[in-house]
Amino acid sequence: MDAADVVAKSKHCIVFTGAGVSAESGVPTFRGAGGLWERYRPEELATPEAFAKDPELVWRWYRWRQEVVHRAAPNPAHYAIAELEALGVVKAVITQNVDGLHQRAGSRNVVELHGSLWRARCVKCGAVYRLEKPVEEVPPRCPRCGGLLRPDVVWFGEPLPQEAWARAVEHAAEADVVLVAGTSGVVYPAAYIPHIAKKHGAVVVEVNVEESAITPIADFFLRGRAGEVLPRLAEEVKKRLSTRRESSPRGPSAIGSSQP
Ligand code: NAD
Ligand code: ZN
């Protein structure tokens, strides 16, 4: 059996993604960060301490990131993942990304472990606001109470949103396949997700341009760019599904019933 077979035959395949999946959309990973903000390390900006000290600087960085993502579009990796969900194969996309590109590509069941660039939260009254486009003034203020707004993302040293974490762990425990793509697997607790799935018996399929901290537990390592490997994998999975459908004695309904 190859990776496409494993995915095609799965009952509960989940996808776990990181910044590498958005790299081909032109959204830099933290390691490959370029341009304007090169001289800052994310650990210096994505922290509660940095925000307390200089909210304007932190917001200017987030506004730049919002602008990059706003101009960007989902790439073939995002679309392949969305297609696997539409086929009924992928049950959930658990992402560390904050860019919203999975949703823009059509993924429906997305668990955002690290929040979203497209929400801001009032540090004073807790109100959460959806953002349609990059913020204009920095730092933005709460229309309700005048308090300071912060990006509704998870900063270094902060706990993950409870509800998202609980959903992710549930999916990981139920998964029989976890497709890991474009993550270094070093940011915890998020990186526990593939390990939890593996412990519960899931097959781990990894897509990355290089080996990562997940590679030692990977059953299949597909080396290459996510935007090239994932569409090929999705194509293969589609072929296997239609072969099974043709060879199944009960016809198409047999597939339907095995994937409620
Ligand atoms: P990371 O930067 O630590 O690792 C990126 C991984 O992607 C690396 O293993 C790299 O080899 C791989 N990669 C790079 N280009 C690739 C490609 N084209 N195809 C396949 N793999 C590729 O990212 P991480 O593991 O997500 O963790 C860093 C943290 O940074 C996360 O918490 C995340 O919230 C945050 N982050 C998010 C975004 C985003 O939302 N797009 C961007 C930068 C950072
Ligand atoms: Zn407020």
Sorted by where each begins, the domain ranges of the chain are 1-27+74-114+160-245, 33-71+118-153
Domain 33-71+118-153: which topology?
SIR2/SIRT2 'Small Domain' (3.30.1600)
Nearest-ligand number for the alpha carbon of 65? 1
Query: How far is ligand 2, taken at its centre, from the CA of residue 203, in Å?
Result: 45
pLDDT value, residue 84: 98
How many A from CA of 121 to the centre of ligand 2?
A: 8
Q: Whose CA is nearest to atom 3 of ligand 1?
A: 184
Phi/psi for 236 (5° steps) reads -60, -45
Q: Which residues of 15-38 are buried (b: 16+ CB within 10 A; e: fewer)?
A: bbbbbbbbbbbebbbeeebeeebe
* Cα 219 to Cα 19: distance, rounded to the nearest angstrom: 22
Q: Give the pLDDT of residue 36.
A: 62
CA 68 to ligand 1 centroid distance, Å: 15
Take residue 22 and report the two structure tokens written for it.
């958005």
Minimum CA distance residue for ligand 1 atom 23: 19
User: Which residues does ligand 1 sit against, CB inside 6 Å?
Assistant: 18-20, 22-24, 27, 29-31, 96-99, 114, 182-184, 187, 207-210, 212, 225-226
DSSP character at residue 146:
-
Q: Provide the pLDDT for residue 81.
A: 99
- Protein residues placing their CB within 5 Å of the ion ligand 2: 122, 124-125, 127, 142, 144-145, 147
The rounded Å distance from CA 91 to ligand 2 centre is 36
Instruction: Give the CATH class of 1-27+74-114+160-245.
Output: alpha beta
- Helix or strand holding residue 9 (H, E): helix 3-9
Q: Which residue stretches of the chain have pLDDT < 70?
A: 32-36, 248-260
Predicted local distance difference test score (pLDDT) of residue 193: 98
Res 38: pLDDT: 75
